[in-house]
Copies of this chain bind each other. A is one copy, B any other.
Amino acid sequence: MTNEADRLARQIEFIIEIDRLKTVYRNSYLIPDPERKENSAEHSWHTAVMAMVLAEYAVSGVDTVRVIKMMLIHDIVEIDAGDVLIYHTKGAADREEKEKRAAERIFGLLPQDQKKEFIDLWDEFENKITPEAKFAGALDRLMPLLHNYTNKGKTWREHGIYYDQVLDKHRPIEKCSPRLWEYARSLIDKSVEMGYLKTRSAD
């Protein structure tokens, strides 16, 4: 095989491999079909479109294109490592190791230059240091909140999640986008008001 043919073959192998992200199910339920769990491919699409629509609310200004690309690839490691509810923190170290191996294997299907590009993007997202990564993280958290609110707290109820946990997990939105945090905060408070989300003192 020529180098050029080999390059395309690797790229196609990667494209076929990531079809599997469509079978990694998350804990969110769809708004138009509340019995069906969302998968990570759909979620990646949705958050990429959110980046197109909401980038103006990033406090420090962001390179929207890099945010979109991050959203597109941020969950690909779940093909090997699975999805974990954001409120669950057990086994985090083991998970980090698993995801790193997954990134190495899956992005490693690509030609070297693209492998580097994708791993760099994914590392940037994971490390949450750049404004783009912080904002991408905010979008990743905002969507499950919208799902939970519109589905009357279904995922929170199923996993016994309380108000203080939701507040804690979503608070990082504040620093990168005070305006989106104000909105997220109002949704969380309304969820308590509507009985979708319990405070511990309500026990």
Contact B72 A15 (CB under 8 A): no
From A48, A69, A150, residue with most partner B Cβ within 10 Å = A48
- Selecting from A33-41, A163-171, A188-196, the interface stretch reads A33-41
* A53 in the interface (beta carbon within 8 A): yes
Known: A15-B53, A146-B15. A8 touches B179 (CB 8 A): yes
Within the complex, what minimum Cβ distance (angstroms) separates A101 from chain B?
A: 19
Known: A11-B54, A183-B8. A46 touches B18 (CB 8 A): yes
List CB contacts (< 8 Å) of A1-45 with chain B. Answer: 4, 8, 11-12, 14-16, 18-23, 30-33, 36, 38-39, 41-42, 44-45
Count A interface residues, CB 8 Å: 45
* A84 in the interface (beta carbon within 8 A): no
C-alpha gap A68/B23 in the complex (Å): 23
* A49 in the interface (beta carbon within 8 A): yes
Q: Could you mark each residue 167-190 of chain A with 1 if its beta carbon is under 8 Å from any beta carbon of chain B, else 0?
A: 000000000000100010000000
Given contacts A11-B53, A20-B32, 13 further A-B contacts (CB under 8 A): A11-B54, A14-B53, A15-B49, A16-B146, A16-B150, A18-B49, A20-B31, A22-B32, A23-B36, A42-B42, A49-B73, A52-B73, A53-B110
